[in-house]
Amino acid sequence: MPDGKRAAMVLRGRRIGLRAVESDVEREIWRGWINRPDVMEGMDRAVVASAAEHRRYVDEAVAASLAVFYGIEPLEQPQLVGIVWLWDVDRLGGRAEVRIVIGAPAARGRGYGTDALDVVAADAFGRLGLRELYAYVHAGNEASRRAFERAGFALEATLQREARRDGREVDVHRLSRFKH
């Protein structure tokens, strides 16, 4: 999609819509979010991604059917505020991990994350034919845990000392939601 044109909304929730992210401008905004220190820590990423690395990561994952990326756009204010994605998509087993970032700090705490997770789950269980979604959330990331729980995910296990945050070991919660 050429820069400056709006992508079509493909999935609609109560507060947000999900759509493709195709323009180079939006890809750079997206890269800026994932390179923020707080987001990197919450996602266990240690190295800042260059534009070329980010493009390769996204394009290769999509080409290999490993990931499905969705841009998050509030219905009330049509601009990209975050990304939610299915990762490690296992079509045989019917499972995928879910990851999310609401990039613009001003857009956090408005229910967009919760709604985006709910809409992704509907797409994963419907169109994509998956049966289980799971997520890994650092202990202490209350906004993330709460957003997943509000979107119907339940705590399945707590992995002891699974990650590092601020140089300290932290537990990681695994939350899941099944298609009923």
Ligand X SMILES: CC(C)(COP(=O)(O)OP(=O)(O)OC[C@H]1O[C@@H](n2cnc3c(N)ncnc32)[C@H](O)[C@@H]1OP(=O)(O)O)[C@@H](O)C(=O)NCCC(=O)NCCS
| CB of 94 or CB of 111, closer to ligand X | 111
Which residue's beta carbon is nearest to the bound ligand X?
A: 113
Which residues, numbered 132-161, are part of the site for ligand X (CB under 6 A)? Answer: 135, 137, 141-144, 146-147, 150
Beta-bridge partner residues of 178: 132
Beta-bridge partner residues of 136: 174
Span near ligand X by CB under 6 A; candidates 18-26, 101-109, 123-131, 172-180: 101-109
Neighbours of 34 (CB within 10 A): 18
Contact mark string toward ligand X, 63..82, x via CB under 6 A? --------------------
Contact residue for ligand X among 32, 78, 93, 109 (CB under 6 A): 109
Query: Which candidate, 71, 134, 57, places its Cα nearest to that of 104?
Result: 71
CB of 36 vs ligand X, minimal distance in Å: 8
CB of 97 vs ligand X, minimal distance in Å: 9
User: How far apart are alpha carbons 161 and 170 in whole angstroms?
Assistant: 5
86 binds ligand X (CB under 6 A): no
Site residues (vs ligand X, CB under 6 A): 39, 42-43, 100-102, 108-114, 135, 137, 141-144, 146-147, 150
